């Protein structure tokens, strides 16, 4: 699987997890990522710490719920080293 494909999987998993909390959540997190880091959700594959910090800021300790949803959506590809690293950094 190419890095680009993995990046797409991660982007979709993030979007799905955020949409489960509502469209406004997806919009709020996306906007905050851009405001703080000038990044988009697709950039989080390479910079999971950006997403982690925005989720912590937005949800407090409840950010773990979103992280768990992302992990669930990536379960079928989590055996790939880069996805595993992404998930580890996201959950720190």
> What confidence score (pLDDT) does residue 1 get?
79
Beta carbons within 8 Å of 72's beta carbon, 6+ residues apart: 17
Domain boundaries, the chain: 3-91
Residue pLDDT, tens place only, 39-52: 999 999 999 999 99
State the first-to-last Cα distance of the chain, in angstroms, to the nearest integer.
26
> What confidence score (pLDDT) does residue 10 get?
93
CA-to-CA distance for 91 and 87, rounded, in angstroms?
A: 6
Torsion of CA 33, 48, 82, 92, to 10 degrees: -160
Write down the pTM of the prediction: 0.91
CA-to-CA distance for 12 and 19, rounded, in angstroms?
A: 10
Domain 3-91 maps to which CATH number in 3.40.50.450, 1.50.10.20, 2.40.30.10, 1.10.1200.200? 1.10.1200.200
DSSP string of 50-74, one letter each residue: HHHHHHHHHHGGGHHHHHHHHHHHT
């Amino acid at each position: 699987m190419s890095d680009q494909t993995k990046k797409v999987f991660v982007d979709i998993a993030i979007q799905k997890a955020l949409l489960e909390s509502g469209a406004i959540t997806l919009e709020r997190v996306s906007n905050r990522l851009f405001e703080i880091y000038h990044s988009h959700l697709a950039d989080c594959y390479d910079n999971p710490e950006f997403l982690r910090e925005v989720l912590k800021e937005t949800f407090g300790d409840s950010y773990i719920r979103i992280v768990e949803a992302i992990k669930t959506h990536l379960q079928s590809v989590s055996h790939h080293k880069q996805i595993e690293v992404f998930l580890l950094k996201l959950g720190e």
